[in-house]
């Protein structure tokens, strides 16, 4: 399928991105197609401004480099203003209810991107506000990252359906979103995690249900070599996510044997690509020789946050 030419056929069922599970396959493909078009246009010097005069509020309860910069730069390129609101500064961080924050922001801005801890807080924002809400990462999901990852996979492989993606490491927000995003598009997805760190059964169930509709596969295992076997794409993420700093040492012990190094990557196809959402810890979840090696496309992936996030903004706030 030529994604560049994938036509926008239907309005989005809901004007939020809380988890990719809420988006249909068609909506995901529309956003990837628009991202490709916006990227090609930007490289050719075209900067359409479909969001001229609009404002995006960006609430951050956790640190960020890529998410903040991609949304802020992306919003500006589309003609919108972007407000950086750290919870260290706004009243939300001092206990103002999320429901009141949603109602206040809905009177002043046109969309909210939020990076926070609980998925329930995001849902409250969407429930009580009257403007689009975008998940910029929660403890459960990181859908914006997966859209950039799917874009990167498509650019390097020329297709999506029928590929195999392997995720090695913690069954965290990235693992959950990778399971959902891949299974929605008919991509086989395998996750290998140590005992006690598997992705949540509820989200694995969603992925299995999505995969059934495509005849694609979902595999959750403790064996990294099994997960990586024959993969077109190998990815990993930090062993201790934001909010889990106190567990970092215990996790280093638990995840020994789950590093994506040259030996593990050798189980994948010879032309497999390596993805990491970044920030990365060389020598922990990934060997320097892999992330800085010839199969790594992590900086294409990072750049694609900009194009993927612009597509999300244009589709939800336009």
In sequence order, the 6+-apart residues with CB closer than 8 A to the CB of 243 are 62, 117, 139
Selected from 110, 237, 285, 301, the binder of ligand NVA by CB under 6 A is: 237
**CB-nearer residue toward ligand NVA: 172 or 295:** 172
What gap in Å lies between CA 261 and CA 284, rounded to an integer?
10
142 among known catalytic residues: yes
212 among known catalytic residues: no
Exposed, middle or buried by CB within 10 Å (0-12, 13-18, 19+), for 252? middle
**CB-nearer residue toward ligand CP: 211 or 286:** 286
Closest distance to ligand CP from the beta carbon of 226 (Å) = 27
What gap in Å lies between CA 167 and CA 285, rounded to an integer?
11
277 near ligand CP (CB under 6 A)? yes
**Binding string to ligand NVA for residues 55 to 94, with x set by CB under 6 A, is what?**
----------------------------------------
The number of angstroms, rounded, from the C-alpha of 121 to the middle of its chain's C-alpha atoms is 18
Q: Which of 277, 295, 307, 309 is catalytic?
A: 277
Selected from 109, 144, 174, 187, the binder of ligand NVA by CB under 6 A is: 174
Residue 124: count other Cβ atoms within 10 Å of its Cβ: 17
Q: What torsion, rounded to 10 degrees, do the Cα atoms 117, 64, 48, 12 define? A: -20
110 near ligand NVA (CB under 6 A)? no
What gap in Å lies between CA 241 and CA 256, rounded to an integer?
16
Residues of this chain, 118-137, that bind ligand NVA according to CB under 6 A: 137
115 among known catalytic residues: yes
27 near ligand NVA (CB under 6 A)? no
236 near ligand NVA (CB under 6 A)? no
86 near ligand CP (CB under 6 A)? no
**CB-nearer residue toward ligand NVA: 67 or 216:** 67
Closest distance to ligand CP from the beta carbon of 174 (Å) = 8
Residues of this chain, 140-169, that bind ligand CP according to CB under 6 A: 145
Q: Which of 115, 176, 251, 307 is catalytic?
A: 115
What gap in Å lies between CA 34 and CA 3, rounded to an integer?
9
**Binding string to ligand NVA for residues 264 to 283, with x set by CB under 6 A, is what?**
-------------x------
173 near ligand CP (CB under 6 A)? no
Closest distance to ligand NVA from the beta carbon of 245 (Å) = 10
Q: Which of the ranges 113-121, 225-233, 236-244, 258-266 carries the binding residues for ligand NVA, by CB under 6 A?
A: 236-244
**CB-nearer residue toward ligand CP: 17 or 218:** 17
Give me the phi and psi of 167, to 5 degrees please: -115, 125
What gap in Å lies between CA 4 and CA 297, rounded to an integer?
21
Is residue 81 within 8 Å of 75, Cβ to Cβ? yes
Distances (CA, A) of 113 to 15, 62, 85, 86: 12, 13, 10, 12
Distances (CA, A) of 250 to 197, 198, 253, 256: 12, 16, 5, 10
110 among known catalytic residues: no
Is residue 131 within 8 Å of 111, Cβ to Cβ? yes
Catalytic residues: 115, 142, 145, 237, 277, 305
Chain contacts with ligand NVA (rule: CB under 6 A): 137, 172-174, 237-238, 241-242, 277
Chain contacts with ligand CP (rule: CB under 6 A): 64-67, 137, 145, 277-278
């Amino acid at each position: 399928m030529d994604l560049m030419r994938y036509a926008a056929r239907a309005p989005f069922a809901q004007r939020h991105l809380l988890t990719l599970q809420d988006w249909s396959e068609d909506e995901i493909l529309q956003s990837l197609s628009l991202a490709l078009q916006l990227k090609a246009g930007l490289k050719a010097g075209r900067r359409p401004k479909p969001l001229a005069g609009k404002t995006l509020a960006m609430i951050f309860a956790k640190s960020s480099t890529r998410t903040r910069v991609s949304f802020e730069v992306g919003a500006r390129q589309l003609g919108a203003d972007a407000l950086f609101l750290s919870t260290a500064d706004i009243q939300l961080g001092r206990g103002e209810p999320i429901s009141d924050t949603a109602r206040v922001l809905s009177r002043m801005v046109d969309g909210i991107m939020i990076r926070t801890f609980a998925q329930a807080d995001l849902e409250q924002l969407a429930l009580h506000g009257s403007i689009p809400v975008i998940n910029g990462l929660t403890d459960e999901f990181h859908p914006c990252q997966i859209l950039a990852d799917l874009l990167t996979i498509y650019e390097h492989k020329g297709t999506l359906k029928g590929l195999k993606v392997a995720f090695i490491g913690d069954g965290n927000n990235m693992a959950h979103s990778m399971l959902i995003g891949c299974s929605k598009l008919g991509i086989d997805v395998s996750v290998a995690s140590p005992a006690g760190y598997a992705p949540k059964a509820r989200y694995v169930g969603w992925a299995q249900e999505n995969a059934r509709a495509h005849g694609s596969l979902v595999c959750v295992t403790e064996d990294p070599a099994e997960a990586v076997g024959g993969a077109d794409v190998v990815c990993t993420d930090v062993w201790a996510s934001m909010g889990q700093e106190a567990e970092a040492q215990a996790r280093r012990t638990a995840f020994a044997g789950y590093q994506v190094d040259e030996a593990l990557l050798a189980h994948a196809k010879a032309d497999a690509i390596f993805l990491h959402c970044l920030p990365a810890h060389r020598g922990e979840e990934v060997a320097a020789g892999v992330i800085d090696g010839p199969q790594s496309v992590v900086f294409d992936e990072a750049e694609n946050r900009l194009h993927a996030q612009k597509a999300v903004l244009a589709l939800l706030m336009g």
